[in-house]
Amino acid sequence: MDFIINNLPEALMILGVFALIIEVAVLGMSTFILLFLGISLFATGLMMNVGLLDDSLATALWSNTLITAACALLLWKPLKRMQENVDSKEVKSDFAELDFVLANDIDEQGLTTHTYSGIAWKLKSQQPLNAGTHVKVVKKEVGVMWVEAI
């Protein structure tokens, strides 16, 4: 504990970087709490390091409280707006171009499965298809391949 108190500015900057890494890499900017805290910790440590703030725990506590609150007030709405802009277009990949011959009849109930890459996928189709029909994947969902006849 003495090591942290004796090197408080550096410790705060390291904690701030860790908080930012966790927010961005692990949480994917979904909460913003660690973002504000990370900015606050890093800024406080930097200001202590250059001599703008006193190197004490009380100063660190109050500075982090104020900077975190200021970041939340200033950045909450713009970040929330940025988060709501979601691109809803479907992603095209090589997986969607997969084609094969049906072993069983299928319909939109998804009772038939097809094993691909070691996973048993449910097969669904807008119109009923008979076994032996050559099909291609036109859409994919979690655990489901939507197919149509070629």
Query: In the chain, what are the domains?
Result: 2-84 (no CATH), 94-149 (2.40.50.140)
Q: At what angle do helices 8-21 and 33-50 cross, to 10 degrees?
A: 160
DSSP 8-state class, residue 132? T
Give the model confidence (pLDDT) of 81-126 as tens digits: 887 877 677 666 556 578 888 888 888 787 888 888 888 889 999 8
Rounded to two decimals, the pTM is 0.57
Say how far apart CA 45 and CA 52 lie, in whole Å: 10
Cross-strand pairs, 100 = 135
Q: Where are the alpha helices (DSSP H) in 22-150?
A: 33-50, 57-84
Cα dihedral angle (65, 76, 39, 51), rounded to 10 degrees? Answer: -60
Give the model confidence (pLDDT) of 63-83 as tens digits: 999 999 999 999 999 988 887
Say how far apart CA 139 and CA 97 lie, in whole Å: 9
